[in-house]
Amino acid sequence: MIIKQLTARVIVLVSILTASLSCSSPDKDASFALGSPKFDKVTISLDGRYYPGEKFEIVTSDNSRINKYAQSYVLDGKELHSPSIPFSSVVSGGKLEIGMGMAPKDNY
């Protein structure tokens, strides 16, 4: 469980750093595509020298080998209607909740 959490953290942190470093100047429209996570919860600590938020948390509900498809995305209590999240939302800190289910879903 601890190894799975650390692996998830590394993958998410590398994604954030890659998005951050790939822009010579911050792109206000940069975003992350969302999918089905292999973890139940991960907390990303944000460095206050670079980002306004303290931490960004990703939590899943009903995640299992059977429930492997994302059904819903809720960012800070507001439902998202597309499988993406703005870079600015991640670095501002907050919480992303991902509801999982047995069948794929194409419309959010």
Give tens-digit pLDDT for 26-44. 566 799 999 999 999 999 9
Q: Residue 106 falls within a domain, yes or no?
A: no
Domain of residue 55, residue span? 2-101
Q: Is residue 45 part of a domain?
A: yes
- Please identify which residue in the block is written with the tokens 């010579």: 24
Which pairs count as long-range contacts for 72-76, CB under 8 Å and 24+ apart, including other chains? 72/97, 72/98, 72/99, 72/108, 73/34, 73/97, 73/98, 73/99, 73/108, 74/98, 74/99
- Say whether pTM exceeds 0.85: no
- With respect to residue 108, please indicate whether it lies within any of the assigned structural domains: no
Residue 33 lies in a domain: yes
Q: What confidence tens digit (pLDDT) does each residue in 36-79 have?
A: 999 999 999 999 999 999 999 999 999 999 999 999 999 999 99
Q: How many domains does the chain have?
A: 1
For residue 107, tell me if it sits in a domain: no
Q: Is residue 67 part of a domain?
A: yes
CATH number for the domain including 54? 3.30.2080.10
Diameter of the chain measured on Cα atoms: 42
pLDDT in tens, 93-108: 999 999 999 999 887 7
Alpha helices in 1-108 (DSSP H): 2-21, 87-91
